[in-house]
Amino acid sequence: MKTAALIVSFVLPLSVPPTHHRLPRPPSGTDTDSHALRLPAEDVSVPRARHAMDRWLGRRGASSELREQAALVLSELVTNAVTHTDSAWIVCATSFSPHDGVRVEVHDDDTTSRSPERRAPTAERECGRGLFIVETLAECWGVAVSPVTRGSAVWAHLREY
């Protein structure tokens, strides 16, 4: 069964919040551009979200290195939302500014889910490396209540150095 994706439009911030409890609004006059995609919370959404974001960032002139890192982070966050929540839908959102970098967000609609917890990866376990990868690649990351879905919004901010 083919599921259609719905593009939703809302402005996502690039400024990094000092707390994990809220998502800040972008400053006025910013050169930030945003994109969001609503997808079913299914395994097939992981590559769809990754490819859509990569194309979108490419059209905005993001470097291939930043695009690759953002794609890996988004893949891990979408995989976590699909695997560890009871969401029917997720919203994958990306903000980009040439000066501030990329902000990736994954919003789930599971209002009963707990915040994700990073576990130390081990050689024996096949899973448990996702948030470790996010933490390694991102300048910072966090969790907030989603203003879009009322579930969780897990975000990560990446910059080029």
Q: Residue 125 belongs to a domain with what CATH number?
A: 3.30.565.10
**Phi, psi for residue 33 in degrees, rounded to 5:** -120, 140
Q: How does pLDDT run across 11-20, given as a tens digit for each residue?
A: 344 333 333 3
Does residue 11 lie in a domain region?
Answer: no
Sign of the CA dihedral with 61 first, then 64, 69, and 75 last:
positive
Q: Which domain holds residue 73?
A: 32-158
Q: How does pLDDT run across 97-140, given as a tens digit for each residue?
A: 998 899 999 999 998 866 656 555 555 656 657 888 898 899 99
Does residue 100 lie in a domain region?
Answer: yes
pLDDT score at 75:
96
Chain Cα centroid distance, residue 84? 15
Does residue 5 lie in a domain region?
Answer: no
Average pLDDT score over residue span 43-66: 96
Is the pTM value of this prediction over 0.85?
no
Does residue 140 lie in a domain region?
Answer: yes
Average pLDDT score over residue span 89-95: 95
Does residue 109 lie in a domain region?
Answer: yes
Average pLDDT score over residue span 10-29: 40
Does residue 6 lie in a domain region?
Answer: no
Higher pLDDT, 119 or 57: 57
Structural domains of the chain, count: 1
Does residue 17 lie in a domain region?
Answer: no
Does residue 3 lie in a domain region?
Answer: no
pLDDT above 60 (res 87): yes
Q: Strand 89-97 to strand 101-108: parallel, antiparallel, or no bridges (unpaired)?
A: antiparallel
